[in-house]
A = this chain, B = another copy of it.
Amino acid sequence: MSVLFENLTLIGLGHEGSSIAWAAKRGGLAGRITGHARTEATRARAQELGFVDRACETAAEAAEGADLVILCVPVGACGDVAAEIAPRLKSGAILSDIGSVKAQLIADVAPHVPDGTDFVPAHPLAGTEHSGPESGFAELFDNRWCILTPLAGSRPEAVDRMQAFWEGLGANVDRMDPAHHDLVLAVTSHVPHAIAYTMVGVADHLRRVTDSEVIKFSAAGFRDFTRIAASDPTMWRDVFLNNRDAVLDILGRFSEELSLLQRAIRMGDGDYLHEYFTHTRAIRRGIIEAGQDTDAPDFGRHAAPAKDPDE
């Protein structure tokens, strides 16, 4: 890989920011990496770990002279940060982000972007339940998707450079209209998270079933929900507040479908249930055939199925 950006600046040095830095180093994509984090502790830790060459006290200082600035802060914070750094962005710089919601984030950030600077929004579909500068690793984006949602006015060469950058970080890149991105993610990620959070909440409120029983028998299906529901609360608050319309649309559809299933259970309608479950099983098969997963009993997580921890 060759250096794509002489000066790369990361605003936010948590899980994603540190992973981008490590992956950029691995790929030799950046000449120099500058970072900013709000707390002195995180800045010090980032320098100790060595994934930034320099850590600045303010976002504005970090953005000065950068060829690429990536906002790695929660969606709800991007507008304010953009306003702060905008006056310091040099002509020809690219501004990007990693937000899980695009339309609202673009509405918050784009007005601040100065002429001569390209804003190229991006959303890498990667991450774990972990946070903090210690949790990043260079391989986080390998073979994951990164979705670019270029604006109507973006220069094609800026978008192409961002695509090359994300490919250099290991990701597969797709491009989408921002509103469509938000709908796709509402279906594949945001509403599944809302549901998982809710189911975990239900289990906890049900005092007839003890916490220890919920925990002990969680492998029976519930554990996948707790896993989804363990993600960063601030990030997810911002996702739901900023992708409200698409999330409420999909949640409404979900409630309607669930009511039908609930009614079939109440009425003892076995044919409806069997047909519904047969249909959803076929969707799972589609995912396996599309190569997104394996049909091994452990879904490819182990060489031998015997040790699969999931039911």
Contact surface of A with B, Cβ cutoff 8 Å: 76, 125-130, 135, 137-140, 142, 144-145, 174, 183-185, 187-206, 208-209, 211-231, 233-234, 236-237, 240-241, 244, 247-248, 250-251, 253-255, 257-258, 261-262, 264-266, 268, 270, 273-274, 276-281, 283-287, 290, 292-293, 295, 297-302, 304-311
Q: Which of A128, A236, A255, A265 has the most CB of B within 10 A?
A: A265
Chain B residue nearest in CB terms to A262? B251
B227–A184 touching, CB < 8 Å:
no
25 contacts between A and B (CB under 8 A): A128-B308, A129-B297, A137-B297, A138-B306, A139-B306, A140-B306, A145-B216, A145-B217, A187-B206, A187-B214, A188-B218, A188-B220, A189-B217, A190-B221, A192-B220, A195-B258, A197-B277, A211-B286, A219-B292, A221-B228, A224-B227, A227-B284, A248-B262, A248-B265, A251-B262
Q: Is the pair B128, A229 in contact by a Cβ cutoff of 8 Å?
A: no
A307 to B301, CA, bound (A): 9
Pair A201/B279 contact, Cβ less than 8 Å:
yes
**How far in angstroms is the closest Cβ of chain B from A139?**
3
Question: What residue of chain B has the Cβ atom nearest to residue A250's Cβ?
Answer: B202
Question: Which residues of the partner chain B approach A253 to less than 8 Å between Cβ atoms?
Answer: 202, 205-206
Q: Is B142 within 8 A of A306, CB to CB?
A: yes
- Name the prevailing secondary structure of the A interface residues: helix
Are B128 and A222 in contact, with the CB atoms below 8 A?
no
